[in-house]
Structure 1
Amino acid sequence: MLSIGWFSTGRDQAARDLLQVVYRSICSGEIPESEISFVFCSRNRGESTESDLFAEIVDSFKLPLVTFSSATFQAERREKGLQEERKGRSKLIQQWRRDYDREVMRRLGEYDIHLYVLAGYMLIVGEEMCQKYDLINLHPALPGGPKGTWQEVIWQLLENRASEAGAMIHLVTPELDQGSPLTFCRFSLRGEDFDPLWQDLEKKLQVRPLHEVREQEGETNLLFRKIRRQELAQEFPLIVTTIGALARGEIAIKNKQVVTSSGEVLQGGYDLTEKIGQKSIINISH
């Protein structure tokens, strides 16, 4: 039985959807011989409407929910550390992250977990937690692609006039979005569905720069929205297929490396594009 610890900040609909998809896939047997042993949320109940909705989903599945607010843990020290980090000095915030992680690990000490999944967890994990736990993260870009939040990734894709995008599951390291990839999938940003939207963006860029388009339209930009919809259509099957591959022993994490069933180190990640392309898009009730 693969025991899973689920980490999330619970900040939006996507965080709720990811948990629902994986939970239902475990219940249906698509992810075999697995269970979510606990859900950890870095916001306390009552801290935000979105995370409260996330907690309601967890409760409805009768999963243990552990909460510990990152915003209120040594808040002044955290804010000072973030200010110093913006000036290029990261020592204080790294120390704060270490102490926050230690408290999280203390609260989770009773659980015996094989795999820790970060899904919409908006904190950088420190070195001690990365060493102690086998942590994986869903990131909405291909290996070697843009880093940051999904919004930042999409704007970088637009800025670079990218011809393809994708998503990956990677090992978590203290360096943001730089861990070794376990799996990934890709999709084209060209073709009849995308070309008219690129043309529309190019017309706008003839009269104003991209940062103004971003400020004025934000997430309502049609190309931005199209890429996001396609990303989500890939991300849900990717995380289900990846956890399923781990549960079946097709891939494994050994000594902080990704290995195949024969024990060989998997370089560059397992390309699941074809498998995911054969799956129907998972329906989620909103």
Structure 2
Amino acid sequence: MMDFGWWTTGRDRAAFDLFDAAWKGIQDGVISGKISYVFCSKAKGEGVYSDRLMDEASMRGLPVVSISAAKFMPELRVADRERWRDLYHGMVLDALKDLHHDIVVLAGYMWVVSARVCRSFPIINLHPALPGGPCGTWQEVIWQLIQERAGSAGAMIHLVTPELDRGPAITYCRFKIRGNDKWDILWDQLDRSLKTTDLDAIKASYGETQRLFAAIRMEGVKREVPLTIQTLRLLANGDILIKNGMPFDRFGRVLEAPLDLTPEIDPSLQGAANRID
């Protein structure tokens, strides 16, 4: 049985739903493991969803550790982000030293971890882009996809390294954002707007409510939970092994390419409300 350390910022509903789905997947026997503790980078009172997540974890008998990143040496965070990152995560590692994990899962964790953390234990991260795709927050990823007029989007689980969002991908799933009438209508609407304004002005005016942006986000969120559950299942079963910062298959061979879990994930989405494709 594999022990997962669960690191989160608990910023939004998606972060809570991801934790809840992983917990249920373990309880239902889908994932042969357990969440051994929850670490939250917000203190109680700093967010509705982070409070809810920590309360639920406590009620389920999990140790919960919270250290506010926002309140930790804010002047240093502005002046020297790398130094701040080292000191903050040094405090985190000290707070977690008596708690066991085989792998740490960054699930809606909004801070870049320090190099020391990357070297200390295996860490996986959910990133809302395809392997080799845009880096950054999910908002930055989606706007870059729109700017590049991408044909596909997706999500991946990758190993965390000091290079932001560029550690080796182990699993992913994809979906098209072009090529059928519903998607093409959204691109056409955007193109009409771009005849009289630019993309930066559209971002400023509409933000996350812009229809193409919102549709891409909705489709991505649908896949984040099943991608995470299936990846944790593969790790717990030993189908994917993490050694020395690299992914291997169960026979000890280096995973030459990340596993495309789209065929396993798409059938679970059939009938989802408001589906675009």
Please tell me whether residue 11 in structure 1 is matched to residue 11 in structure 2: yes
Contact 1:130 1:173 in 2 (8 A): yes
Please tell me whether residue 207 in structure 1 is matched to residue 178 in structure 2: no
Q: Secondary structure at the match of 1:194?
A: helix
Give the equivalent residue in structure 1 for 2:253.
Answer: 264
CA RMSD of aligned residues (A): 1.5
How many Å apart are 1:103 and its aligned residue?
Answer: 1.1
User: In the aligned structure 2, how far is the partner of 1:107 from the partner of 1:244?
Assistant: 28
User: In the aligned structure 2, how far is the partner of 1:67 from the partner of 1:231?
Assistant: 28
After superposition, the Cα gap between the structure-2 partners of 1:134 and 1:281, relative to the gap in structure 1 and judged at 3 Å, is farther
Please tell me whether residue 168 in structure 1 is matched to residue 156 in structure 2: yes
Identity score, percent? 44
Q: Deviations over 1:68-102 (max 9, x none)?
A: 11122222222222xxxxxxxxxxx2222112111
Counterpart of 2:25, as a letter, is S
Give the equivalent residue in structure 1 for 2:214.
Answer: 225
Give the equivalent residue in structure 1 for 2:88.
Answer: 100
Give the equivalent residue in structure 1 for 2:77.
Answer: 78
How many Å apart are 1:150 and its aligned residue?
Answer: 0.6
Q: Secondary structure at the match of 1:186?
A: strand
Counterpart of 2:19, as a letter, is L
How many Å apart are 1:279 and its aligned residue?
Answer: 2.5
Please tell me whether residue 136 in structure 1 is matched to residue 136 in structure 2: no
Contact 1:236 1:282 in 2 (8 A): no
Structure 2: runs of 5+ lacking an equivalent: 273-277
Please tell me whether residue 157 in structure 1 is matched to residue 156 in structure 2: no
Q: Secondary structure at the match of 1:279?
A: helix
Contact 1:143 1:268 in 2 (8 A): no
User: In the aligned structure 2, how far is the partner of 1:75 from the partner of 1:223?
Assistant: 36
Q: TM-score, normalised by structure 2?
A: 0.94
User: In the aligned structure 2, how far is the partner of 1:134 from the partner of 1:192?
Assistant: 43
How many Å apart are 1:268 and its aligned residue?
Answer: 2.9
Contact 2:154 2:220 in 1 (8 A): yes
Give the equivalent residue in structure 2 for 1:63.
Answer: 62
Q: Secondary structure at the match of 2:126?
A: strand
User: In the aligned structure 2, how far is the partner of 1:221 from the partner of 1:59?
Assistant: 37
Task: Give the total of aligned pairs.
Answer: 271
After superposition, the Cα gap between the structure-2 partners of 1:114 and 1:69, relative to the gap in structure 1 and judged at 3 Å, is same
Structure 1: runs of 5+ lacking an equivalent: 82-92
After superposition, the Cα gap between the structure-2 partners of 1:179 and 1:281, relative to the gap in structure 1 and judged at 3 Å, is farther
User: In the aligned structure 2, how far is the partner of 1:185 from the partner of 1:49?
Assistant: 30
